[in-house]
Structure 1
């Protein structure tokens, strides 16, 4: 099928090329998309674009939960085997993500940092993974440094995630005033459930009950409209909220 003489696969490649630029992905994706528009679009869509959408996030969480019940160590085992067999950057990225998901943040951070020393040093996905791993290790200064780099070099890459993680890292580093300012910015800019929940959890932890319970009331109104599927998808956050306010 063609539109105005242009093949639809080329139009799809152009759409993904715009996403590459706007989301701050590595420039090599543009080369792949323009040299191999059909195959490149397929790979980019599955590897980068779909994981960034809300629908894919929900589906991945459901599939991940089911997989973890049946074989909780499968992804880590397969990622480690792949890296041992072919120790390239792509397999190391996969291993780092699997280690972080398996609650081994120190090893995950080491692998992410190693990836940032090679040709993927400018990849925002790796940089964000390194920030998350360092946060999990309570290396808040390192986390903040990675997030600042992301904001400078790839400001359109997962801005909500970056902002909330920045607020939490600032709080962990003892920068209370800066953390509050970042939480307030994230709430005003994005205002999604996770942002509001993280702000509420932090507020109650520092004794700001007025802010905490105001946010909790808003969260409860949202939760009341959820079906069972939504509650299951957000079970971890709901559990953290319950513990924080208990």
Structure 2
């Protein structure tokens, strides 16, 4: 069967399923079957796209697709907004987008520009700057920023900031201090990354028995969690299993 015909059938079946699930009049199915590609285009424009705009899941999926197709699109939009109105909020949004895109230099510059006047010690801006510094390969600067953040905002709490501080300590070779921070994060961080990083650092410094205990307890705990949680944390749980396998393999080596 020609590829063009197979593609047409697949699109027609997909649209027919959408007709049934969305409760639209059944005459749409006949139009789709008779009209082939033209009918599919008409149906998508008349029914599928409006549904996507109304459905939060559809909007999210569309946004994800646009990020894959054109990852710089939102950045360009935010840049235009900033050029039209140089507000704190517009700079913050552009800084966060640069950070997400991996443009750490511009993210640092933007976050630094926010830390002036009444916002000179704004904790969320200082945390953003520290994230840009750390991801940009300067853990010493990130550590300094985080310590200044806590000094200026002693009541500020952030699990992401705490994890970032521990990672900076590890990158800087301050192993005991990093282990102390990761030990706290193993119990307090809302996810599996804190436990994974704690166990991995123990293993890297030949504390294999302690590392094994951390990973085994982590995996036992994960089995008791809801399925959606295990799916969300799948990457870290997989990494923990791999670390545990390496520890077990090293234990049986002659």
TM over 0.5, shorter chain: yes
- Distance in 1 (CA, whole Å) between partners of 2:242 and 2:154 is 33
Structure 1 vs Structure 2 CA RMSD? 3.0
**Alpha-carbon contact 1:164-1:198 (below 8 Å) kept:** no
Give 2:63's aligned residue.
67
TM-score, normalisation: structure 1: 0.63
- Distance in 2 (CA, whole Å) between partners of 1:143 and 1:195 is 18
- Distance in 2 (CA, whole Å) between partners of 1:115 and 1:243 is 42
**Alpha-carbon contact 1:97-1:108 (below 8 Å) kept:** yes
- Distance in 2 (CA, whole Å) between partners of 1:139 and 1:124 is 19
- Distance in 1 (CA, whole Å) between partners of 2:60 and 2:137 is 25
Point out which structure has higher relative CO (alpha carbons under 8 A, 6+ apart). Answer: 1
- Distance in 2 (CA, whole Å) between partners of 1:192 and 1:149 is 24
- Distance in 2 (CA, whole Å) between partners of 1:123 and 1:95 is 17
- Distance in 1 (CA, whole Å) between partners of 2:60 and 2:199 is 27
How far 1:182 sits from its partner (Å)?
Answer: 2.2
Q: Within 5 Å, which residues of 2 pair with 1:69-108?
A: 69-72=65-68, 73=71, 74-108=73-107
Question: How many aligned positions are there?
Answer: 185
Give 1:170's aligned residue.
169
How far 1:97 sits from its partner (Å)?
Answer: 0.8
- Distance in 2 (CA, whole Å) between partners of 1:230 and 1:197 is 15
Give 2:250's aligned residue.
none
**Alpha-carbon contact 1:128-1:147 (below 8 Å) kept:** yes
For residues 186-208 of structure 1, what are the alpha-carbon distances to aligned partners after superposition, in whole Å with 9 as ceiling and x for unaligned? 446x2653322221233334443
SS at the partner of 1:71?
helix
- Distance in 1 (CA, whole Å) between partners of 2:213 and 2:62 is 35
Give 1:200's aligned residue.
199
Give 1:48's aligned residue.
none
- Distance in 1 (CA, whole Å) between partners of 2:151 and 2:207 is 31
Give 1:114's aligned residue.
113
How far 1:146 sits from its partner (Å)?
Answer: 1.4
- Distance in 2 (CA, whole Å) between partners of 1:240 and 1:200 is 11
**Alpha-carbon contact 1:205-1:244 (below 8 Å) kept:** no
TM-score, normalisation: structure 2: 0.61
- Distance in 1 (CA, whole Å) between partners of 2:62 and 2:237 is 19
Q: Answer with 134-143 or 115-124: which moved more.
A: 115-124
For residues 107-163 of structure 1, what are the alpha-carbon distances to aligned partners after superposition, in whole Å with 9 as ceiling and x for unaligned? 212211121134422211111111111111121111111111222222332343332
Give 1:218's aligned residue.
217
